[in-house]
Amino acid sequence: MTPNEREEFIFDLAQHKVKQLSDAGVFAMAVDQMCMLLANESEERLIQIAPANLYKQDKKKHIKAKGFKWLKLT
Protein backbone atom coordinates (compact mmCIF):
# COMPACT_ATOMS: atom_id res chain seq x y z
CA MET A 1 0.00 0.00 0.00
CA THR A 2 1.44 3.37 -1.01
CA PRO A 3 1.37 6.29 1.44
CA ASN A 4 -1.45 7.93 -0.56
CA GLU A 5 -3.50 4.73 -0.62
CA ARG A 6 -2.96 4.32 3.13
CA GLU A 7 -4.11 7.90 3.78
CA GLU A 8 -7.26 7.40 1.68
CA PHE A 9 -7.96 4.05 3.39
CA ILE A 10 -7.60 5.62 6.84
CA PHE A 11 -9.94 8.46 5.83
CA ASP A 12 -12.55 6.04 4.45
CA LEU A 13 -12.32 3.86 7.57
CA ALA A 14 -12.66 6.90 9.84
CA GLN A 15 -15.76 8.04 7.96
CA HIS A 16 -17.27 4.56 8.26
CA LYS A 17 -16.62 4.45 12.03
CA VAL A 18 -17.97 7.96 12.67
CA LYS A 19 -21.18 7.22 10.73
CA GLN A 20 -21.84 4.38 13.19
CA LEU A 21 -21.58 6.66 16.24
CA SER A 22 -24.50 8.28 18.01
CA ASP A 23 -24.72 12.06 18.23
CA ALA A 24 -23.40 11.86 21.78
CA GLY A 25 -20.45 9.78 20.59
CA VAL A 26 -19.61 12.28 17.86
CA PHE A 27 -19.80 15.12 20.39
CA ALA A 28 -17.57 13.24 22.82
CA MET A 29 -14.99 12.62 20.11
CA ALA A 30 -15.07 16.29 19.09
CA VAL A 31 -14.55 17.42 22.69
CA ASP A 32 -11.70 14.94 23.11
CA GLN A 33 -10.02 16.16 19.91
CA MET A 34 -10.43 19.80 20.97
CA CYS A 35 -8.87 19.00 24.36
CA MET A 36 -5.88 17.43 22.63
CA LEU A 37 -5.45 20.52 20.43
CA LEU A 38 -5.83 22.97 23.32
CA ALA A 39 -3.39 21.02 25.51
CA ASN A 40 -0.57 22.22 23.24
CA GLU A 41 -1.37 25.89 23.83
CA SER A 42 0.23 28.06 26.50
CA GLU A 43 -1.78 29.27 29.49
CA GLU A 44 -1.64 32.82 28.14
CA ARG A 45 -3.02 31.71 24.77
CA LEU A 46 -5.80 29.70 26.44
CA ILE A 47 -6.84 32.76 28.45
CA GLN A 48 -6.69 34.88 25.31
CA ILE A 49 -9.02 32.65 23.28
CA ALA A 50 -11.41 31.75 26.12
CA PRO A 51 -14.66 33.67 26.61
CA ALA A 52 -14.64 35.95 29.63
CA ASN A 53 -17.15 33.86 31.57
CA LEU A 54 -14.84 30.82 31.61
CA TYR A 55 -11.82 32.45 33.24
CA LYS A 56 -11.56 35.35 35.61
CA GLN A 57 -8.04 36.52 36.40
CA ASP A 58 -8.98 38.61 39.40
CA LYS A 59 -10.68 35.98 41.49
CA LYS A 60 -11.55 37.36 44.89
CA LYS A 61 -10.81 35.24 47.91
CA HIS A 62 -13.90 34.10 49.73
CA ILE A 63 -14.15 35.71 53.13
CA LYS A 64 -15.89 33.52 55.65
CA ALA A 65 -18.78 35.24 57.34
CA LYS A 66 -18.32 35.66 61.07
CA GLY A 67 -21.98 35.92 61.91
CA PHE A 68 -23.79 38.71 63.66
CA LYS A 69 -21.94 41.05 65.96
CA TRP A 70 -23.93 41.96 69.02
CA LEU A 71 -24.14 45.61 69.71
CA LYS A 72 -24.37 47.00 73.22
CA LEU A 73 -26.98 49.69 73.36
CA THR A 74 -26.31 52.09 76.23
Whether pLDDT at 30 is above 90: yes
**Three-state secondary structure readout of the chain:** CCHHHHHHHHHHHHHHHHHCCCHHHHHHHHHHHHHHHHCCCCHHHHHHHCCCCCCCCCCCCCCCCCCCCCCCCC
Whether pLDDT at 42 is above 70: yes
Average pLDDT over residues 52-68: 67
pLDDT number for residue 59: 55
pLDDT number for residue 64: 62
Average pLDDT over residues 43-59: 83
Overall pTM > 0.75: no
